[in-house]
Amino acid sequence: MYHSSIYTEEDQPPEIENDFILRLPSEEAEQLNKLLEQDNVEKQLKIFVDVDTHTAEIKLCDKKLKGRLVDLPCVVELQKTLDKKNFYKVTDVSQMVICEKSDDESNQGNSLIDDKKCEKRFQWPHGITPPMKNVRRRRFRKTLRKKYMDAPEIERELKILLRSDLECASVNTSSDESFEEDLQSIVSRSTSFPETIEKLSSKDSSNSVDEGAIRRRLAELHSSLIECEKERKQCQQKLTTLENPILRDRLYGEIEKYEEKESNLRNEIDSINAVLAKK
């Protein structure tokens, strides 16, 4: 199989094994079978195939046939035998050349093919055997379309994920033997700061409270609250420009987290202010 426009009859390319199925009309098929039985095919049969345009030209004795190269839905394994007992694989066949008698029929077939989509233009719907008729439609699953997402939305989502990673608390790992001790330390760290201040503001330990540390903590809470409000407003502004429902749901979740964090910070600030007011 080679490109017919590159080589002339005088300068033929080297023979390269490339197998395909040749489907001829009934009259020409009988004539070809007789030539095969007489072992006189090389001079009587010539095939020129243009792979780019999927067209073919077959010369059988004095007849010229036009054909088209189609892709089979399945790959067929070709086997050969010399003694009709032992078979060995020769190659895999995935294409077929279909020939018509006259130019009118071939042109009519090509006009019907040109009206179809480019990717389905030369796809043969049937297999080789009768059970494989319409196999491409009956058994093959349709190609799934990938969900399209704009590059700016992907960039925004990536920034949100990176920002959430930066805001995550540090993670400490330890062995299983010290699990109870780590659990107690986590519980002690998870207690809110106002409860600690209320304990320190009791009558027994009122003298041990460091008022400067409390005010520094209060300043830190105010700065954290301002930063949290800023991040929440940025998310709300991005929400007005997004159209992707998945990204909008994620932004809603981020906004709810910021609102919850703001409420906790305000409660802690109010508790500290109440303790300072008692003094």
From first to last of the 279 residues of the chain, give the pLDDT tens digit: 444 444 455 555 555 567 888 888 888 888 888 888 888 788 888 888 887 788 888 888 888 888 888 888 888 888 989 998 999 998 888 888 888 775 544 444 444 445 455 567 788 888 888 888 888 888 877 777 766 666 777 777 888 887 777 766 555 555 555 545 554 554 454 445 455 555 545 544 444 446 677 777 788 888 888 888 888 888 888 888 877 777 788 888 888 888 888 888 888 888 877 777 766
Q: Is residue 156 part of a domain?
A: no
Q: Is residue 158 part of a domain?
A: no
Instruction: Supply the pLDDT for residue 87.
Output: 93
Range of the domain at 80: 15-102+115-139
The owner of tokens 């609102």 is 259
Distances (CA, A) of 267 to 42, 95, 209, 218, 260: 96, 75, 20, 12, 11
Question: Structurally, how many domains does the chain consist of?
Answer: 2
Q: Is residue 50 part of a domain?
A: yes
Residue 43 and residue 126 share a domain: yes
Residue 227 and residue 132 share a domain: no
Q: What is the CATH number of the domain that holds 254?
A: 1.20.58
Q: Is residue 250 part of a domain?
A: yes
Q: Is residue 155 part of a domain?
A: no
Q: Is residue 255 part of a domain?
A: yes
H-run or E-run covering 69: strand 63-81
If we measure between CA atoms, which residue out of 173, 177, 195, 163 comes closest to residue 264? 195
If we measure between CA atoms, which residue out of 163, 134, 126, 123 comes closest to residue 251? 163
Q: Is residue 90 part of a domain?
A: yes
Task: Write down the pTM of the prediction.
Answer: 0.41
Q: Is residue 85 part of a domain?
A: yes
Instruction: Supply the pLDDT for residue 36.
Output: 85
Residue 215 and residue 135 share a domain: no
